[in-house]
Structure 1
Amino acid sequence: MTTLLFNKPYGVLSQFTPEAASRWRCLAEFINVPEVYAAGRLDADSEGLLLLTDQGRLQQRLTDPRFGHWRSYWVQVEGQPDDAQLNRLREGIEIQRKRTMPARVRWLQGEEMPDLPERDPPIRVRATIPTSWLELSLREGRNRQVRRMTAAVGLPTLRLVRCRIDLMDGKAELDLKDLPAGRWRPVTNAEQGRLNRLLSSSRPRSRMARRGADRRG
């Protein structure tokens, strides 16, 4: 089994085939390993952690919404959040006529702020409006969900970076540590062991159990 971690830059599709007449690049410009495919996706204008594997069962396990893996994002937003906005994100917001599942949200300040190089191209900055960083964790992956959620509470997303994937209720995780943008690496032996345990773990929880876990999150 071949499994890779890739730090996807801005402007890159989560696929190996370019789209006709698209301004976006594709994974083939960065990764020359045959027969691996992304387990999940990031929009072209999002950055960060992408897992690629040649094992269909692992792809299915990581993307099946019944398992509800937490995925964490660093989100640079326009403005400064207040408690009401953060609580709305945590409790769930109706977007596209469907309410989002409860989320985990933290306002990152001081030393907690992510140490990232400037994006290429840079984000837009308005001199009169400050920006803030949030850490937002979700157990679902609806279309452009993070951007829609922050916009709904008055905090438009300027930059979005997936920083972590939790494999088993936070007991094992994959992250961006020491992986520069545009670079990939094979998973370590320890990470492969976590993935193997994931594949041998129990079946999806019942709907009621998942709802209880979401409330606790």
Structure 2
Amino acid sequence: MPRLILFNKPYGVLPQFTDRGTDGARPTLSDFIDLPGVYPAGRLDLDSEGLLLLTDDGRLQSRIADPRFKLPKTYLVQVEGEPDAASLDALRRGVQLKDGPTRPAEVERIADPALWPRDPPIRVRKSIPDCWISLTIREGRNRQVRRMTAAVGHPTLRLVRWRVGDWTVDGLKPGEWMPVTA
């Protein structure tokens, strides 16, 4: 039976088990998870938080990470400014990025979610409002959500992956993990 781990990756943690950087001082998955033979199924940038799935099964890893399977990924995104209906509609239709158009996304404005505090906190500018959106995509390009919100004029301030398929980070504190049935 394949192992599947749900991990709430904190901000600033490398989504790999070793730091290949010059000083090797950044926190990695090995600072939180001491299970041999599990590997991340997909990516989650250093400056993003939330659900990271890990498994010991290569087929499952591929099925989760490969865009061909169109597994939905839902992000809670704090953006600069307050997107209007036209901006949200553009995200719903798909936006043009330098590497081509994105697939249509599901998006809606949401109330401020009851999340854990981020360390360090985001930059706050009193003269520029911000708000939260829920954004679901079915592909996984490099820094895609950040590039999508920037393309409609609302740069991402905080990005939390909340759900991948049927799995969610709900109930896990940053740095916590739990095994689930694959």
Q: What range describes the TM-score normalised by the shorter chain of this pair?
A: over 0.9
> 1:108 and 2:110 equivalent?
yes
Instruction: State the match for 2:173 in structure 1.
Output: 180
> 1:47-58 alignment to 2 at 5 Å?
47-58=49-60
Deviation at 1:165, TM superposition (A): 1.1
TM-score, L = length of structure 2? 0.95
SS at 2:67 equivalent:
coil
> 1:28 and 2:21 equivalent?
no
> 1:164-179 alignment to 2 at 5 Å?
164-166=163-165, 173-179=166-172
Q: Deviations over 1:25-50 (max 9, x none)?
A: 21001100101000001000000001
Deviation at 1:117, TM superposition (A): 2.0
Q: Which runs of 4+ in 1 moved over 4 A?
A: none
> 1:5-20 alignment to 2 at 5 Å?
5-20=6-21
Q: Distance in 2 between matches of 1:40 and 1:84?
A: 31
Residue identity matched to 1:130: P
Aligned partner of 2:65 among 48, 54, 63 = 63
CA RMSD after TM alignment: 1.1
Gaps of 5+ in 2: none
> 1:30-179 alignment to 2 at 5 Å?
30-109=32-111, 113-166=112-165, 173-179=166-172
Q: Distance in 2 between matches of 1:154 and 1:53?
A: 37
Percent sequence identity over matched residues?
57
Deviation at 1:114, TM superposition (A): 1.3
Q: Distance in 2 between matches of 1:15 and 1:80?
A: 34
Q: Distance in 2 between matches of 1:177 and 1:143?
A: 24
SS at 2:62 equivalent:
helix
Asked if the contact 1:24–1:44 (Cα under 8 Å) also holds between the matched residues in 2, the reply is no
Deviation at 1:23, TM superposition (A): 5.8
Which structure carries more strand by proportion? 2
Deviation at 1:14, TM superposition (A): 1.0
Q: Deviations over 1:119-145 (max 9, x none)?
A: 100100001111100000000000100
Asked if the contact 2:76–2:133 (Cα under 8 Å) also holds between the matched residues in 1, the reply is yes
Which is greater in Rg? 1
Q: Deviations over 1:3-62 (max 9, x none)?
A: 111000000111101122266321001100101000001000000001101011100111
Q: Distance in 1 between matches of 2:68 and 2:179?
A: 27
Q: Distance in 1 between matches of 2:47 and 2:6?
A: 18
Q: Distance in 2 between matches of 1:64 and 1:8?
A: 20
